[in-house]
């Protein structure tokens, strides 16, 4: 288990406040929990993504045939 500890510093100046805010921002952005991945959990989203891209390709065929071809190619790589 990973844990992060914060040392708080009391800074009365503007630069110190900005530095603390930046530190907290980076801590919030990069803090993440480990994800348990199972083969059953990843199978459905891939099928849904493939179906969605194929459906979007059908919708775009008349307006942008090149984009439709690209979406079909990506959908074929998933499924």
Cα–Cα distance for residue pair 26/70, rounded to 1 Å: 36
The burial of 57, by beta-carbon neighbours within 10 Å (0-12 exposed, 13-18 middle, 19 or more buried), is given as buried
Q: What is the pLDDT of residues 9-32, one digit of tens each?
A: 565 688 888 888 888 888 877 776
What is the reported pTM? 0.41
The answer, yes or no, to whether residue 40 has pLDDT greater than 60, is no
């Amino acid at each position: 288990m990973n844990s992060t500890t914060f040392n708080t510093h009391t800074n009365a100046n503007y630069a110190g406040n900005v530095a603390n805010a930046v530190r907290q921002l980076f801590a919030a952005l990069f803090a993440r929990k480990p994800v348990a991945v199972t083969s059953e959990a990843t199978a459905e989203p891939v099928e849904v993504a493939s179906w969605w891209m194929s459906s979007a390709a059908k919708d775009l065929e008349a307006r942008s045939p090149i984009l439709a071809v690209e979406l079909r190619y990506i959908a074929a790589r998933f499924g």
